[in-house]
Amino acid sequence: MNFNALRSPKAALGLALTTGGLLLGLSAYQNTGFHRQVNAYLDSVLTDTQKRLPENALKGLAVASGLEVRTVATEPMLQNPTDIDVDERGRIWVCEAYNYRPAINGNPTNPKGDRILILEDTNGDGKADLSKVFYQGPEVNAPLGIHVLGNRVIVSQSPYVWLFTDENGDDKADKKEVIFEGIAGSQHDHGMHTFVFGPDGKFYFNLGNAGEQLKDRD
């Protein structure tokens, strides 16, 4: 399956992030009383360990008749995904925040840094079966937003906005630069998040209340 259909705002398809993977769905999850009852039931029959198993990832979702939801990717293919984008080839790009708040949450860390991944379905079964590391480095620390522009990838990680460039088409970042900085929120989910081009041709991104000031590259 080519995930390119997800790029269209008119498509019924949608991607949802979970702590353990990606879900490809034809319906949005709603926090209704019925769904809360379903989740309460699952809490009574599944242990915390069982809740994190890939085969149980969809059991808390109730999908309307005629619609479908399925798992696209799970751990260990990706770890703690925070944002995604789909490129012109239908591949899913993921930024991870494995190293998010270790001092507060007591989480383990990876000294190699967080990763930017490319997920691909090579056999058309609707699941990602190929994962490539586009970039990993200790300076990439809990990024929260990603946007793919051809051979360039923009990644937000307060206080920086990174621009990665693949100059030879090997799906590896050859060049890395900071194109914007100064918005607070390092290791904070209220910092900078994702990006989008508006109909006016301007580039937009959102941020939380940890952002205290704006500065351009100069």
- Asked if 100 contacts 142 with a C-beta cutoff of 8 angstroms, the reply is yes
- Mark out the alpha helices in 6-137 (DSSP H runs): 33-45, 48-51, 102-105
Q: 115-148: string of b/e by CB count within 10 Å (b at 16+)?
A: bbbbbbbeeeeebbeebeebbeeeebbbbbbbbb
Predicted confidence at residue 185, as pLDDT, reads: 77
Identify the pLDDT of residue 213. Answer: 65
Distance CA 121, CA 130 (A): 6
Reported pTM: 0.76
pLDDT digits (tens, 9 = 90+) for 7-46: 444 333 345 555 455 554 433 334 556 666 766 767 777 7
pLDDT at position 17: 53
Q: Residue 79's pLDDT band (boundaries 50, 70, 90)?
A: confident
Q: What is the mean pLDDT of the chain?
A: 80
Percent of the chain whose predicted confidence (pLDDT) is above 70: 77
Check whether 196 has a pLDDT greater than 50.
yes
pLDDT of residue 128: 93
Digit-coded pLDDT (tens) for 113-149: 999 999 999 999 988 999 999 999 999 989 999 999 9
Confidence of residue 69 (pLDDT cuts 50, 70, 90): confident
| C-alpha triplet 211, 216, 218: angle, nearest 5° | 140
The whole-number average pLDDT for the span 45-64 is 78
Which tokens sit at 160? 């920086």
Please list, in sequence order, all residues whose beta carbon lies within 8 angstroms of the beta carbon of residue 59, skipping any fewer than 6 positions away. 42, 46
For each of the domains in the chain, give its residue range(s) and CATH number, in order of start: 77-207 (2.120.10.30)
pLDDT of the residue at 14? 46
Q: What does the alpha-carbon distance between residue 146 and residue 203 come to, in Å, rounded to a whole number?
A: 13
